[in-house]
Structure formats: C-alpha cells, structure tokens
Amino acid sequence: MKIRKHWILLIFLFYAWGAAQAVHAAQDAALERRVQQLSAELRCLVCQNQSLADSNADLALDLKNQVREQIEQGASDRQVIAFMTERYGDFVLYRPPLKATTLLLWFGPVLLFAGGLIALFMRLRRRAQTLAAPVLSAEERARAAALLGEPATRREPKLP
Amino acid sequence: MIPELGQFALVLALTLALALGTLPLIGAAKGNAQWMQLARPAAQGQFVFVAIAYACLTYSFIHNDFSVLYVASNSNSALPLAYRIAAVWGGHEGSLLLWVLMLAGWTFAVTVFSSHLPEDIVARVLGVLGLVSIGFLSFMLFTSNPFDRLLPAAMDGRDLNPLLQDPGMVLHPPMLYMGYVGFSVAFAFAIAALLSGRLDATWARWSRPWTTTAWVFLTIGIALGSWWAYYELGWGGWWFWDPVENASFMPWLMGTALIHSLAVTEKRGSFKSWTILLAIFTFALTLLGAFLVRSGVLTSVHSFATDPKRGIFILIFLVLVIGGSLALFAWRAQRVGLGGRFEVVSRESLLLTNNVLLLVATGSVLLGTLYPLFLDALNLGKISVGPPYFETVFLPLMAPALFLMGVGPVARWKQATLPELALRLKWALGVAVVSALVLPLVMGKWTPLASLGLLLAVWIFASSAATLSARLKQTPGALGAKLRAQSLSYYGMLLAHVGIGVLVVGVTMVKTYEAEKDVKLAFGESVALGGYAFRFDAVNDVKGPNFAAQRGTISVTRNGAPVSTLYPEKRVYNVQKNPMTEAAIDSGLTRDLYVSLGEAVGDNAWIVRVHVKPFVGWIWAGCVLMALGGLLAVFDKRYRVAARVARERAQTAVAGVAS
Amino acid sequence: MRRWLWPLGIFLVLAVFLGVGLTLNPREVPSPLIGKPAPQFELPLLHDAGKTFTQKDLLGKVWMLNVWASWCAACRDEHPVLVDLAKSGVVPIYGLNYKDKRPDGVAWLKRFGDPYVLSAYDEKGRVGIDYGVYGVPETYVIDKQGVIRYKHIGVVTPRDVKEKILPLIAKLNENT
C-alpha cells in the first residue's frame, strides 16, 4: 500500500513542517463544535481522501485555522464555504453543491428508489396475471425433488 | 531458487486453470463424462500449486530474501516475524497472490463438498471458477509478479508500511478476501445454472451455504477493517465512506440482498432470474472493488501502489467476465419460470421490497463513489463526494429497510394480511415507540435522529422477540423442546437481525453523543470531557523492535475515582521515518475512551485529542452477531441431510445399474 | 430477451467510464482562479524585510509566480529548470517563499542560484491560501491585465516549459 513517491515526499514534508505549528484551541466550545463540523465537510487537499477535521497535515491545520478565524469574525457557514471554493474549487467540498452537473448525483438515489419501486410493482402485477399455470413441468418437479431428497408433493405450487 | 520454484508453481497452476476453465465446460455441454471428471483433479492440482507458490513467497519473507523485489519493498530484517508473514499480503502483488490462493482454496472446497451434486453441475461450477482463476493468475504473472528478482539484491528491505504493522493487518485482509472470493463460488453456481438451463429451487439450495459463508467472511472482514481504522488511523472515525471502503461495502449490500433472495428461491421457487442476477452483480462488485483499489482511478486513504496498466488488465477481465455473464443472463433468463404464487402482502413481496431497497442503496453508494470519475471523464470539473453525501442519501433508504426487517420474519409466505401483521407486532411497535421517546432523554439529549435510530433498533429487537414467541407458541411441547424444534437457520436469521439492531444502536449513540476535544495540555494539566477527567502526566521515550516512540501517560478519572490509565504513542519507524499515531483506547460496554497524541508544543506540552465514544463497541459487536447468525445458518442440518439423502440415492442408483 | 438486456447495457456504459477514468489523474485539482484576476497581496521581500512587493507592480507585464520553500524537496528538482528559464530572459519569474524561515530561504537561494527577480516572503502562508496553493512547488502565469492564465501544480519540467509555458507566454505577449 504505497502511495506514489512524489506524494509521499510532499505529505511527509507537510507533516514535518506541521510539527512546529500550534493549533490555538478556541475557548468557546460552541465555536469549536462549529469549526469541527465545518472542517469535517472540507477536504484536505494534500491528503489521501481525508477531511480537514481528521487531518494533521500542515495545510489542513492552516485551513482549519482559517475556518476558525472566519467564524470568530462572524462569517456564516456559507461564507466560509464560499471562501474555500473560490480558492480550491468544488473539490474541497465533501458535500457537493447542487448544480447542473450534480443533479444526477443528488437525485439519482431518489430516481433509483422510485424506479425500483415502480418496477417492483409492475413485476408483481404482471406476475399475478401470468401465474395461472404451473411453471415447472411434472418431470422437472420430480427431478428437483429427487435431487433435494424430498417427496415431490411438497413443492407443488398451490393454485387458487 | 525458491522464488523461481514459486513462479514455476504459478505457471503450472495457470496451466491447470486453463484446463479447468475449458475442458469440463465443454464436457458438460457435450455430455462427455470423462472431460467433466477432469474438473475435480484439475481444481485440486491448481490449489496445490498455488499453495506451493504462496509458501515460497512466505519463505522468502521469513528468510529476508531481499533479492526478491517484492520482499525488498515490503519487509525489513528488523520486522517482527508475525509481520513478515503478514507482509506477504502487504502490497499489491502479494495480496493478489493471497486472493488467488483463496480462490483456489474455495475451488478446492467445492471439489470436496460437492459429492451430492450432479456431475455436470460440478463440472460447470468448477469450470467457471477455473475461468475466473485464469484471469487472476495471468493478471499476476503478466503484470504483477511477486517473484520478480531484484539484482543486485538490496542490503535491507524498505520495510512494511508502518500503518500495516498491526494485528489488524494479520486478520483483516484474509477475512475480507475470503469474503470477496467466496462470492465467486455463488457466481459460479449462478453461471452453471444458466449454462445448464436448470434453474430450479435445488440450485438455490446448493448455492445457499456457499453464499452465506462468503457473506460471513465479508461481514467479519469489513468489521475488522473498520475497527482497525478506528484505533490505528488515530482520529477516532470508524467509517469514512472512502472509495475503498465503499468497494467492500457494495458487495456486502448486494450479497445481503442475494442471501435473502436465495432464501425465497429455495423455499418458494420464486425470484429465480432475480437471484441469478444478484449473484452476478455481487461478484461484479467484488471485481469492481479490485479495480478501484488497484488501478488508482480514485483517491483513497487505503490505496495500493497503483498503476494504470494493471487497471487496464482488470478492466478487460471485468468486461469479459461480467459482460459475458450478463449477456448469457439476457439470453437465458427468459427460460426461468416464475415459481410459486404469492400475494402483494406476503413474506415474498416484503423480501422483494427489501431487496429493492438494498439494491438502490448499493446503486447510490456506487453513484456517489464513481460520480467524481464520471464528471472528470466528461470534463465537467472535479468534485469530491464524501460522508455528508452518503449519510444524507443512505439514511432514508436504510430506515424503511430496517423497518421491513422487523415485519418480514413475522409475515407468512404466500399471503399475509395487514391486520394480522399489525396484531402480531403491536407490542413490538409500542415498545419501540416508547423507547424511542424515552431513551434519548435518559442519555441526556433528545434529537430526532437519535430517536429514529433507537426506534429502529428497538423495533428490530422487539419484533424479533415477537416472531420467536409466535413460533414457539405454534410448536408443541415443553419450552426446551419448543426451542430445540426450531431450525438453526431460523436462529441464525434472528441473531443476524438482532446484530443489525445492535449495530444501529452503536451508530446512533456514537453519532449523537460522542464528544471530542483537541487541546493543548502541559504535563499535569487535565481536560474534562463527557464526565471524565483526563490528566496528562508525562511523555517518555520508548523503543520498539523497529521503531522509536514517545509514549504519553494519561490518567482518566470519573468523579475523582480512577478509571483507567492510557498510553497513546507517537511512533517513528526506523526505515520509513514517517510519524505514526497509536491511539490508546479504554473499551467498555457502554463507551470507549480514546486518546491520541498530536504534536509537541514546546518542551512540556502537547496537543492531545480526546474522545468519549458511547456504545461505539456495539458497532462491531453487531457485526460479530451478524456473522454468527450467518454461521448458524450455514450449519443448518437440512443442507447436510439433503446432501446425505442425495448421496445415498446416487449410490443406490449406481448399485442398481451395476446389478 | 430484450427485457433482460438492461443490466448488460448499464454495465457497458460503466465500463466505458472506468476506461476513460484510467487516463485521468484524480489528484490534480484544477484551480478555479484561472481566468480570474490574481488575488491581491502586499508582502515583505525575502531579502529585505523593509520593502514590500504587490502583484499590482507588475500590471502591464506577463510574469510568472513560483511558489517555493527551502523545506520542499521537489522544489530542488525544479530549480535548475527555473534558473535556465530566467537566464533566457523570456519571462520574469517572481518567487513566493511559502511558509519558510527567512535565513533558510536566503541560504537556499545562495546555494542553488536565484532565478527570481525577487521573492516575496509569505511567512504564514496566507497569500498561499488565497492563491489556492496546496502542493509546493506551484507556478502561475499572469498576463498583462493581471489575470491568472495558467497554473502548474508540482515540478515544472523542461518539457512543460517548452510545450506549455513558452507558447502561452508568447501568445500573451502578442496581445497588447
């Protein structure tokens, strides 16, 4: 499980340099919680798929401090997110913004769900219509029963 | 010499796989008994040679043979023996060899436990497994040979990635791979059924124990992986919705749908083509997982050394195997009958609805995982899809599925009525609703999500109790006799469902009530969190076999009474040098205390991350219960009885012909 | 039969995307700043803390901004390429010394050569964040109107200079 060499080097350097960085822990617990929640939704760009909240990489700490400062200055979540996307693009957002290109992402599950239920309903209805005759031939049933070691009668489909 | 022997064994194994993947299938198609009979010896020989190759690579690791490139890249002479053995699967090539070993092992197991199956089915199942094996063996030999030499040999190895030097590494990949590879057997049975045109309930009964076993392994494998990430990665998360995690979760979801669908096919003869399709999908998702992990198309916390060339190989393989199977399916599925009749309200349709929900959930995870790739491929920009998305999408799908889970086992086959169901479940529902309202208040904070989670969890417990008591009422005799009269697979089902409930409790509690703090602590200072006080006593230097560490000492008290002393570490491994965080955890039934060291600030202060995680252990306990449930189902005696009867019949038939 | 072809269809579409995906690099994040005015900054110089530099000084010129640091190993690989490019005099290169220690940065330039007209000193990395820097070294090409036209993430190779940077600069210099 190696990562490409170049990146190892970069990440390592960010780590090494980050050692000296102090995270100034904000006093206010509510503020800290907001920082935590927001930075859990932002992606650390130098990491292998980690959020700012989870990462200790140097840039992640810097950006987390940015988030904290902006919140301290009264910025809304939306403003913080706008600040990040202006600089790093939508890539930093773990919750992709709703726009034309992400419509399918956000509504895909709903479509799948609706489609699945409709398909299920249609199937069940058609099934009820076609199921007027026994499906297994007598011979098939006997063979199945023999293979299962069961008397053939148990598998008889019951018809109305 | 030994590595060459290993490579030679792999070539022989490939030769046997080529024979296995062709002759028995042709034999079965033409009714040639001799060719069909080749299947068993070829499969067994293949296993022997793959095992030899595997032993050779292990030997090279144990003996620190750094003239083997793979050993030199993934081991070191200072690495403890247990990790040298586990390092065999620490990188791409060796993990592939482990995969192949398991595939050969499962194939071997089919040859042993298939004496009750008709010869042509055995030939087809083994033949399909042989085809899969050809793919993986040639992938290994042509793109990722673990036996490649390094000349001149390295003085010492580059060491196993420190993240992997952990007991989790010894257990997690083998379990996970057993699960992945196990689904190839379910797939092989499905393809054999399509090829033979004999898609009856018997087929479902044959393939069920195999599928359930694979599912049990995958469940354990995923749970181990999650637990490992929890304590090893050092930031207290247990599921990140990372592409690689999703790659294991998707086959699990689909596999769960598959075992339920198989149950209906076996018991009622319905959903046949659907079940076949699920078997193909599940296997396809395991291959897709291998592709995602090994090709580097997505970025992940757990990624392998990636190489687009490997990606191309797996992709071609994927297209051939899955494309071929789906084409075969499209061609043959029409001949499958519909099976027994059932009403709109019945256990069948409830199971089918749950199947749809699981399928939609899988589809959503797949969509979220691959969407960044889709956009990038269409040149529409780069985005990230992470936990906020998956949580938003997953919950609304899982909530109804969990609700139906309580109803399904109570409903009758063929036809159930809503008033009857309501009558049977009214107590369960009452208990669930009351708990959902009260329990969060007991925990100190009421939120809608906590309430919903607990509603569903208690609903599952209570409805499971309701179905058990209804079952027992219908059975005559004393309580002991009543309990004994129920089948193992019934208990397995209940246990697995209860396991889901336990998992839901864990997830809900952690999500709602966990507390964490990143604080700067000087020696002697304390931080209070969740009713506990954590005092940072000291940091000492300690030496491990192949690392140097700074070990913190943190005493935890509650209301002044000592609870535990925790020793989180910050390690630097001698060879790879990157700093590693080893969290320290005090696990309990109702909470984990979790601390990890951040960075040193000055001479006598550190950044310390402290978490209190209520009920987090229930997440993995739930998985263990699910796996145990699956295990009970596998050992249900009806599979063995049926097998024995079939064997005896076959023998009498042979005797009859002979006389 | 046609009814059961949908799984195959979906699968094949998926496979095409996976195939295209193999040709892409998931790690490279395109900058949203391309085509936008270069973010404002005013920073002290690396060599002279008393003087400052702002991107406004260079309006009317095509120039390159290279983000570097003495702790960045990849910057060392890139450095000779920049030195050569600076010698050719095609384009002025300005440095942004990112999250470095002043003496380290100065010593590093002394040792490996200084291709920069000047280096601005971004001690806290705030300007870096404004420019969306995430993996040092990074290089920006900025046109006469002060608009960012190109961003290169990672090491600039001689090939990148020849195939991407020089043609772009020539084009930008043509438009007055």
Q: Taking a C-beta distance cutoff of 8 angstroms, is the pair B186, B215 a contact?
A: no
Q: Taking a C-beta distance cutoff of 8 angstroms, is the pair B596, B583 a contact?
A: yes
**In 3-state terms, what secondary structure has residue B630?**
helix
Q: Which residue has the higher pLDDT, B428 or B47?
A: B47
Q: In whole angstroms, what is the distance from residue B319 CA to residue B242 CA? A: 24
What residues in chain C have their Cβ under 8 A from chain B's Cβ atoms?
1, 3-5, 7-8, 11-12, 14-15, 17-24, 26-27, 29-30
Fill in the DSSP letter of residue C157: P
Q: In whole angstroms, what is the distance from residue B98 CA to residue B178 CA? A: 9
DSSP characters over B468-486 = HHHHHHHS-S-HHHHHHHS
Looking at the structure, tell me whether residues A88 and A105 fall in a common domain: no
Nearest CA in chain C to A5: C74
**Over the stretch B540-575, which tens digit does the pLDDT of each residue have?**
999 988 889 999 999 999 998 999 999 999 888 888
For helices B272-295 and B243-268, give the axis angle rounded to 10 degrees.
160
Smallest Cβ–Cβ distance between B377 and the set C1, C7, C21 belongs to: C21
Q: How would you write B177-201 as a 3-class SS string?
A: HHHHHHHHHHHHHHHHHHHHCCCCH
Instruction: Answer yes or no: is pLDDT of B105 > 70.
Output: yes
- At C9 the pLDDT is 93
**Over the stretch B135-175, which tens digit does the pLDDT of each residue have?**
999 999 999 899 999 888 888 888 888 878 888 888 999 99
Chain A contact present for B205, CB below 8 A: yes
Who contacts B481 (Cβ-Cβ below 8 Å, separation ≥6)? B475
**Distance in Å, alpha carbon of C85 to nearest chain A alpha carbon:** 23
CB contact under 8 A, C17 and B372: no
Fill in the DSSP letter of residue A49: S
Instruction: Provide the phi-psi class of C133: left if phi over 0, else alpha when psi is between -120 and 50, else beta.
Output: beta
**Over the stretch A81-135, which tens digit does the pLDDT of each residue have?**
999 999 999 999 999 999 999 999 999 999 999 999 998 888 888 777 766 544 5
Q: In whole angstroms, what is the distance from residue B101 CA to residue B109 CA? A: 12
In 10 A of CB B423, how many CB atoms? 11
Looking at the structure, tell me whether residues A57 and A90 fall in a common domain: yes
Q: Is the ipTM of this complex over 0.90?
A: no
What average pLDDT score do residues A30-51 get?
A: 85
Contacts of C6 in chain A (CB under 8 A): none
Whole-number Cα distances in Å, B231 to B228, B239, B535, B579:
5, 12, 21, 16
Looking at the structure, tell me whether residues A14 and A88 fall in a common domain: yes
- At B536 the pLDDT is 93
Q: How would you write B112-145 as a 3-class SS string?
A: HCCCCCCHHHHHHHHHHHHHHHHHHHHHHHHHCC
CB contact under 8 A, B373 and C17: yes
In 10 A of CB B30, how many CB atoms? 10
Chains that touch C (3 or more CB pairs under 8 A): A, B
Instruction: Answer yes or no: is pLDDT of B45 > 50.
Output: yes
**Over the stretch B366-397, which tens digit does the pLDDT of each residue have?**
999 999 999 999 988 889 999 999 999 999 99
Residue A85 lies in a domain: yes
Smallest Cβ–Cβ distance between B376 and the set C4, C14, C24 belongs to: C24
- At B385 the pLDDT is 93
For helices B201-232 and B637-658, give the axis angle rounded to 10 degrees.
140
> What is the overall mean pLDDT for chain B?
89
Fill in the DSSP letter of residue B410: G
Whole-number Cα distances in Å, C54 to B570, C105, C124:
42, 19, 16
Residue A110 lies in a domain: yes
**Domain range enclosing A117:** 101-155
**Distance in Å, alpha carbon of A105 to nearest chain B alpha carbon:** 7
**Over the stretch B574-631, which tens digit does the pLDDT of each residue have?**
887 777 888 999 999 999 999 998 888 888 889 898 999 999 999 999 999 999 999 9
Instruction: Answer yes or no: is pLDDT of A24 > 80.
Output: no
**In 3-state terms, what secondary structure has residue A99?**
coil
Instruction: Answer yes or no: is pLDDT of B57 > 90.
Output: yes
Instruction: Answer yes or no: is pLDDT of A15 > 70.
Output: no
Looking at the structure, tell me whether residues A27 and A66 fall in a common domain: yes
Looking at the structure, tell me whether residues A23 and A69 fall in a common domain: yes
- At B96 the pLDDT is 94
Query: Residues 136-155, chain B: which have Cβ within 8 Å of A?
Result: none
Q: Name the pTM for this structure.
A: 0.89
Domain count along chain A: 2
Instruction: Answer yes or no: is pLDDT of B234 > 90.
Output: no
Residue A11 lies in a domain: yes
What residues in chain C have their Cβ under 8 A from chain A's Cβ atoms?
27, 29-33, 71-74, 99, 124-125, 129-132, 134-136, 154
Q: Taking a C-beta distance cutoff of 8 angstroms, is the pair B43, B185 a contact?
A: no
Q: How would you write C3-62 as a 3-class SS string?
A: HHHHHHHHHHHHHHHHHHHCCCCCCCCCCCCCCCECCCCEEEECCCCCCEEEHHHHCCCC
What average pLDDT score do residues B32-39 get?
A: 91
Buried b (16+ CB within 10 A) or exposed e, B207-238: bbbbbbbbbbbbbbbbbbbbbbbbbbbbbbbb
Fill in the DSSP letter of residue B517: E
Cα-trace Rg, chain C: 20
- At A3 the pLDDT is 37
Band (pLDDT 50/70/90 cuts) for residue B196 is confident
Residue A160 lies in a domain: no
CA dihedral B629, B630, B635, B639 (to 10 degrees): 130
Residue A24 lies in a domain: yes
Looking at the structure, tell me whether residues A51 and A11 fall in a common domain: yes
Looking at the structure, tell me whether residues A75 and A119 fall in a common domain: no
Chain C contact present for B312, CB below 8 A: yes
What average pLDDT score do residues B522-547 get?
A: 91
**φ, ψ at C63 (rounded to 5°):** -145, 165
CATH number of the domain encompassing residue A53: 1.10.8.640
Looking at the structure, tell me whether residues A32 and A53 fall in a common domain: yes
CB contact under 8 A, A10 and C135: yes
Looking at the structure, tell me whether residues A70 and A127 fall in a common domain: no
Looking at the structure, tell me whether residues A24 and A56 fall in a common domain: yes
Segment of A2-11, B93-102, B399-408, B418-427 carrying the highest mean pLDDT: B93-102
CB contact under 8 A, C71 and A17: yes
Boundary-marking domain end, from A82, A97, A112? A97
Contacts of B392 in chain A (CB under 8 A): 95
Looking at the structure, tell me whether residues A114 and A82 fall in a common domain: no
Whole-number Cα distances in Å, B10 to B2, B146, C13:
12, 10, 34
- At B650 the pLDDT is 60
- Domains belonging to chain C, first-starting first, are 36-174 (3.40.30.10)
Looking at the structure, tell me whether residues A60 and A85 fall in a common domain: yes
**Distance in Å, alpha carbon of C149 to nearest chain A alpha carbon:** 15
- At A18 the pLDDT is 37
- At A142 the pLDDT is 67
- In sequence order, the β-bridge partners of residue C39 are none
Q: Which residue has the higher pLDDT, C6 or A55?
A: C6
Band (pLDDT 50/70/90 cuts) for residue B209 is very high
Q: In whole angstroms, what is the distance from residue B535 CA to residue B532 CA? A: 10
